């Protein structure tokens, strides 16, 4: 009898938890400044942290942040370990088959090749890219040899130590690294790949998608999204 | 951490380093060493227990039980650790949520599998989405311990199974001649004597277990290798403490940690070996016995 009472109490307790406000777990990579990174205090920081918190506020949701490897960021979303992906993910038809995207919160932004010198042949050389990115796909189709790495940081290190001739990644990620390299690294070329960047959601989560779409639209309308984009990506960044 | 750390930009030299090494992220890194040690401390006995049960089952007179023990050892030992870790944890997590879903939300009409999505009712989430972060951490840690224990239990089971067979038959026969039952002979004669035969194999397993702890990151736990990689990577001005690629130093620290830890383990295991050898009918035991 006592056990049954305890069990019911536990059930009631957990049920009340579920009803008392929806908690959305925001999944991000935490290794792609300025989009998202883990700051020195050990917390998720960056453009998407600020954006996500604001969107949650506008959509009246309680949000917590979770980090996950880029490699397995989609599988862990669909199996329910977190509810959104907000990790600088470009909206592509291939990804859209597996998950759903909100409206884009960043317009299409060029990718850039970065190398140790201007005269690297990006069409036939060895190019580093992060696994599972649009850039990795692009290199494979361009005829160059692609070497893939699990984290963005390793792709830069590969260029520095000569393992790859150049790296292809979002220009917004590479620009600060080039600027702070004291001339060691240079931007060789830019290519326009990828659609806009949006939040990834499970295809079954249509209600949540509507909430975030409404929040993103309201941020576009009142100009706060533009302000936030300029704050993290510089004054001349593309924004809505 | 220190009072002078408020403005990292103005710091230099030792002060910068002192502040850098005490950032929140570094403290998490130091804490991760505790996570690894805790994992080892919990996993080792649990794996040994699994192994012991498997070895006992593999020796059972009841055929289905024997198949179960031998099947477990054969299957788990035959699957690559990484594949097992990737498959088992997702499968276990989904199984737990599926069972909770069936119990807690009997009225739920939508299917659990919708295309690619695995969707259970919010109350069946394990842990609940609204649970604080430490509950999520504890849950994934428990899953990790369980998975490690299953993998290493299969190897331990095989070692113990062999060790049980290595005890000289005459020992058990003598026990039976004294009128002990099979059960009594097992617990009083066989088990106390088998450890000496099991120890070399088990100590190997312990060393491999220590080195397998970086697999933790596969299970979503931030272990020391994750932090070394994350902290060591080049940092731009977006961070409070920008620095070039320092992964080499961080990995060197890990190397020293793992080497020191395995060395200490080796010393402890050698001592245990000497102690277990005492009075045994083994070469080590007899020579040691003659001297004392």
For B186-235, write each residue's pLDDT tens digit: 999 999 999 999 999 999 999 999 999 988 877 778 889 989 999 999 99
Enumerate the residues of chain A whose CB falls inside 8 A of the CB of residue B115: 203-204
Query: Looking at residues A175-204, what average pLDDT do you find?
Result: 92
Enumerate the residues of chain A whose CB falls inside 8 A of the CB of residue B119: 80, 202, 204
Q: What is the pLDDT of residues B5-37, one digit of tens each?
A: 888 888 888 889 999 999 999 999 999 999 999
CB contact under 8 A, B128 and A17: yes
- Tell me the domains of chain B and their CATH numbers: 3-291 (1.10.3720.10)
- By C-alpha distance, the chain A residue nearest B218 is A69
Share of chain B above pLDDT 70, in %: 96
Share of chain A above pLDDT 90, in %: 74
- By C-alpha distance, the chain A residue nearest B127 is A81
Exposure class string for B141-178: b at 16+ Cβ within 10 A, else e: bebbbbbbbbbbbbbbbbbbbebbeebeeebbeebeee
- By C-alpha distance, the chain B residue nearest A68 is B220
pLDDT at A235 over 80: yes
- The Cα angle at residue B95 between residues B92 and B101, in degrees rounded to 5: 145
Q: What is the mean pLDDT of chain A?
A: 89
Name the residue facing A157 among B115, B131, B245 (closest C-beta): B245
What token pair was written down for B166? 């290595």
B127 preceded by a cis bond (ω within 30 of 0):
yes
The predicted structure's pLDDT at residue B56: 95
Interface confidence: ipTM more than 0.85: no
pLDDT at B251 over 90: yes
Enumerate the residues of chain B whose CB falls inside 8 A of the CB of residue A204: 110, 114-115, 117, 119
The predicted structure's pLDDT at residue B58: 95
CA dist A65 and A25 (Å) reads: 6
What token pair was written down for B54? 């498997």
CB contact under 8 A, B239 and A37: yes
Q: What is the pLDDT of residues A86-134, one digit of tens each?
A: 999 999 999 999 999 999 999 988 999 999 999 898 889 999 999 999 9
Name the residue facing A42 among B24, B94, B217 (closest C-beta): B24
- Tell me the domains of chain A and their CATH numbers: 2-107+196-233 (3.40.190.10), 111-191 (3.40.190.10)
CB contact under 8 A, A40 and B25: yes
Q: In terms of DSSP bridges, do strands A84-85 and A62-67 run parallel, antiparallel, or are they unpaired?
A: unpaired
The predicted structure's pLDDT at residue A13: 43
Q: What is the mean pLDDT of chain B?
A: 89
């Amino acid at each position: 009898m006592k056990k049954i009472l305890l069990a019911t109490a536990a059930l009631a307790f957990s049920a009340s938890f579920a009803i008392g406000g929806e908690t959305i777990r925001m999944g991000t990579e935490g290794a792609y400044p300025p989009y998202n990174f883990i700051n020195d205090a050990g917390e998720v920081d960056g453009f998407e942290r600020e954006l996500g918190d604001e969107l949650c506020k506008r959509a009246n949701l309680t949000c917590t942040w979770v980090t996950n490897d880029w490699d397995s960021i989609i599988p862990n979303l669909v199996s329910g370990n977190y509810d959104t992906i907000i990790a600088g993910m470009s909206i592509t038809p291939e990804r859209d088959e597996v998950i759903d995207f909100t409206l884009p919160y960043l317009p299409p932004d060029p990718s850039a090749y970065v190398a140790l010198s201007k005269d690297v042949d990006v069409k036939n050389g060895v190019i580093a890219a992060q696994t599972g990115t649009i850039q990795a796909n692009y290199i494979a189709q361009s005829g160059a040899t692609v070497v893939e790495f699990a984290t963005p940081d390793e792709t830069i290190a590969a260029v520095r130590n000569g393992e790859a001739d150049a790296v292809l990644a979002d220009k917004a990620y590479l620009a600060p690294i080039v600027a702070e390299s004291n001339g060691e690294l240079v931007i060789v070329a830019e290519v326009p790949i990828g659609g806009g960047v949006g939040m990834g959601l499970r295809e079954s989560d249509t209600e949540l998608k509507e909430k975030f779409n409404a929040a993103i639209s309201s941020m576009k309308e009142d100009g706060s999204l533009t302000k936030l984009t300029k704050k993290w990506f510089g004054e001349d960044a593309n924004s809505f | 951490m220190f009072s002078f750390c408020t403005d990292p930009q103005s710091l230099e030299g030792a002060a910068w380093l002192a502040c850098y090494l005490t950032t929140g992220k570094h403290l998490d890194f130091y804490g991760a060493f505790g996570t690894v040690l805790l994992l080892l401390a919990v996993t080792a006995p649990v794996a040994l227990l699994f192994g012991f049960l498997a070895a006992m089952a593999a020796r059972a007179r009841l055929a289905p039980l024997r198949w179960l023990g031998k099947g477990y050892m054969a299957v788990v030992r035959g699957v690559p650790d990484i594949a097992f870790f990737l498959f088992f944890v997702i499968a276990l997590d989904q199984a737990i949520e599926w069972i909770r879903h069936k119990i807690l939300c009997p009225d739920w009409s939508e299917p659990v599998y919708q295309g690619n999505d695995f969707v259970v009712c919010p109350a069946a989430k394990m842990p609940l989405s609204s649970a604080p972060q430490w509950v999520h951490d504890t849950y994934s840690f428990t899953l990790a311990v369980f998975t490690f224990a299953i993998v290493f239990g299969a190897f331990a089971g095989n070692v113990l199974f062999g060790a049980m067979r290595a005890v000289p038959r005459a020992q058990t026969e003598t026990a039976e001649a004294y009128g002990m039952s099979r059960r009594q002979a097992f617990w009083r004669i066989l088990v106390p004597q088998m450890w000496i035969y099991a120890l070399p194999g088990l100590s190997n397993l312990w060393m491999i277990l220590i080195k397998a702890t970086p697999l933790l990151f596969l299970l979503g736990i931030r272990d020391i290798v994750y932090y070394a990689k994350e902290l060591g990577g080049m940092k731009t001005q977006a961070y409070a403490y920008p620095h070039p690629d320092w992964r080499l130093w961080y990995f060197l620290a890990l190397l020293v940690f793992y080497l020191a830890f395995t060395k200490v383990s080796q010393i402890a295991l050698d001592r245990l070996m000497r102690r277990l050898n005492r009075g045994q009918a083994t070469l080590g035991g007899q020579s040691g016995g003659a001297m004392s």
